[in-house]
Amino acid sequence: MFIHYIDLAWRSLRQTPLVTFLMILAIAIGIGVTMTTLSVYHMMSMDPIPHKSERLFSLQLQTMDDGETWLTPDDIPYQLTYTDAINLDAFPGDYLSAPMLRSGFSVHLNTASSKPFIENTRVTGRDFFTMFDLTFLHGNVWTEEQERDAAPVVVIDEEMAKQLFGKTDVVGESVFLGERRHEVVGVTQKWRPTIKFYDLNNGSFGKAERMFAPFSHVKAYDVDTWGNTNGWKFEETRDFNDKMNSEMLWVQFWVQLDTPQQRQAYGDMLMAYMQQQQKLGRFNRETLQYSLQDVNAWMNYNDVISEDNKILVGLSFMFLAVCVANILGLLLAKFMRRAPDVGVRRALGASKRQVFYQHLVEVGVLGLLGGSLGVLFAQLGLLGVRQTYNYYAGLANMDWMMLLSAPALAISACILAGLYPAWLVCRTTPATHLKVQ
């Protein structure tokens, strides 16, 4: 029966090519516009690390004196001081934690033929790789001793290994960061999350780094951040050592806490730590405050989804509503015109339910056609987005979920539009139309 209805639908659509074309065009444009904005929204709001996003926490400490305010909704600074990051990373306990910052070096092989290039580098602790699921192809992360001694070592990814050496197995090879020789101890698989969720300070959709160095290098080699440094009070800082000892905020800190017990214990430790620091003259506050936010909360807190995008998604759904109203009108016209045919079918024994069902199938076919064309329109739209704003290149794409939801949305929209006309037409009383004929 379903096949038969599809056949009927096809015949009916071909009977009125102009109206059919208009309806398909309307739904396709509506879907095209909606899917363009929705795809970008979807990519921006997607959980970047679904299986453990609830166990990874970005740490914030309220280091500022009472009365100071910050740009964040809760007035707690985004980043930590170097002192706190180092102290907290040294906490004993069976959880993973990583202080980190974005820096960069001019990288070369110290040969005449290798042209130096600038490479963004994540300077971080050993736990980073486990916490954020990086896979090692060759070698491994630097050892605890190497971390402690600030040994000149690096981890690079396969893409960079190929760029430098033409192969991926380069453990033991040397690369130069500026004038300093470093040994490659590990090569990771390419890792490029669409959202740079572990570092939302430096552009949420920037590329993930391809090179990693131990956090102890910060002190040993005066590695400064290439990201933001924020101060909240006047401090005389003449050199890098002053900066490391200052109240300036420039280090990010993530911790992995697997169980509520761990979370509780960690929170207690943070409070104890702040109280201890208070005795040293820091944290001049009535109430001590920290914040641990998991990956999704952190993205929300950092407004990863742009305001413009939210406005566009809202407007395009309103636009889709216009398209639905449009199609409703056209369907009404089309179905009512066919009332005499329906009268004959009803007279010949078709039930109301069958007539209703048949018309909904027709509307569904319309939605499927419109949705498919809509996907094409959306691809054009996304191409336009990528061309206008290169930075969104990784975001302006449709994944399989979006590709499937486009026809689904189109069919639902069409069925929504078709319900009333189909109901009207199935109520046709056979007698009236038979009489006129």
Partner 1 sequence: MFELKPTINALMRSKLGAVLLILQLAITLAIVSNAVSIIQDRLTYLNKDTGYPEAEIFKFNALNFDKNLDLLQQVELDEQTLRDLNGVIDATAVSSVVLSGSGSSGGMQLKPEPQESKRVNMGYVTGDEHLLNTLGVKVSEGRDFTEADVVVIDESDARPSVIIVSRSLSDELFGQGKGLGETLYWGADPLTIVGIVDTMANQWPKSSFGTKTAMIPMIRVGNFQKFLVRTAPQDRAQVMRQIEELMLASHRERVISDVTGLDKKKARYDAKDVLMMRMLMTLIVVLVIVTALGVFGLSTFNISKRTKQIGTRRALGARKSAIVRYFVVENALICSVGLVLGGAAAVLLGQKLMNWYSVPALSYHFIATTAGLLLLMSLLSVLMPALRAANISPSIATRSV
The residues binding partner 1 (CB under 8 A) are 19, 22, 25-26, 29-30, 33, 36-37, 104-106, 116-118, 177-179, 234, 306-308, 310-312, 315-316, 318-319, 321-323, 325-326, 328-330, 332-334, 336-337, 381, 384-385, 388-392, 420, 436
Minimum CB separation of residue 392 from partner 1 in Å reads 7
Q: Give the phi and the psi of residue 85 in degrees, each rounded to 5.
A: -60, -45
Which C-beta is closer to partner 1: that of 25 or that of 86? 25
Residue 349 backbone zone (phi > 0: left; psi -120 to 50: alpha; other: beta): left
Q: Spell out the residues 6+ positions from residue 355 whose beta carbon is closer than 8 angstroms to its own.
A: 342, 345, 346, 422, 425, 426, 428
Question: Residue 333 or residue 404: which is nearer to partner 1 going by CB?
Answer: 333
Is the Cβ of residue 127 or residue 209 nearer to partner 1 in the bound state? 209
Q: Which residues of 183-201 are buried (b: 16+ CB within 10 A; e: fewer)?
A: bbbbbbeebebbbbbbbbb
If we measure between CA atoms, which residue out of 339, 284, 124 comes closest to residue 211?
124
Cβ nearer to partner 1, comparing 290 with 319: 319
Nearer to partner 1, 291 or 326 (CB): 326
CB of 103 to partner 1, least distance (A): 11
Give the whole-angstrom CA distance, residue 196 versus residue 203: 8
The CB-of-303 to partner 1 minimum distance in angstroms stands at 11
| Exposure b/e, 257-296, CB count within 10 A at least 16 = b | beeeebbeebeeebeebbeebeeeebbebeebbbbbbbbb
Would you say 187 or 422 has its CB closer to partner 1? 422
Query: In angstroms, what is the minimal distance from the CB of 296 to partner 1?
Result: 21
How many Cβ atoms are within 10 Å of 142's Cβ, its own excluded? 25
To partner 1, the closest distance from the beta carbon of 310 in angstroms equals: 7
Smaller CB separation from partner 1, 144 or 307: 307
Nearer to partner 1, 228 or 264 (CB): 228
Closest CA to 316 of 40, 37, 41, 27: 37
What is the smallest separation between the CB atom of 242 and partner 1, expressed in angstroms? Answer: 13
In angstroms, give the least distance from the CB of 144 to partner 1.
29
* Closest distance to partner 1 from the beta carbon of 307 (Å): 5
Dist CA 366 CA 411 (whole Å) = 8
The count of residues in the chain is 437
DSSP string, 42-102: HHHHS-SSTTTTTTEEEEEE--SPTT---SSTTS--SSB-HHHHHHHHT--SSSEEEEEEE
